[in-house]
Structure 1
Amino acid sequence: MKTVIIKYNAGNVQSVMYALERIGAPYLLTDDEAEIRSADKVIFPGVGEASTAMAYLRQRGLDKVIPSLKQPVLGTCVGMQLLCRYSEEGDTTCMGVFDVDVRRFPATPGLKVPHTGWNNLTTMQGPLTEGLTENPYVYFVHSYCADVCPETSAVCDYVRPFSAMLQKDNFFAAQFHAEISGNVGQRILENFLKIDKRV
Structure 2
Amino acid sequence: MPLTALKPVADLRDRLREATLSAHRQLDGLLAGGLADVATYHAYLRGMHRFISDAEAVLDEPPLRSLWLSADLVALELPPLPPCGRLQRATGAEERLGWRYVIAGSSMGARLLRRDAQRLGFTAQRGARFLDRHAIDGEWPAVLQQLAQAALPPAREALLVEGAHDAFAAAEAGLRRALLLDDVP
TM-score by length of 2: 0.27
- Which structure has the bigger radius of gyration? 2
Q: Which has the higher contact order (CA 8 A, sep 6+)?
A: 2
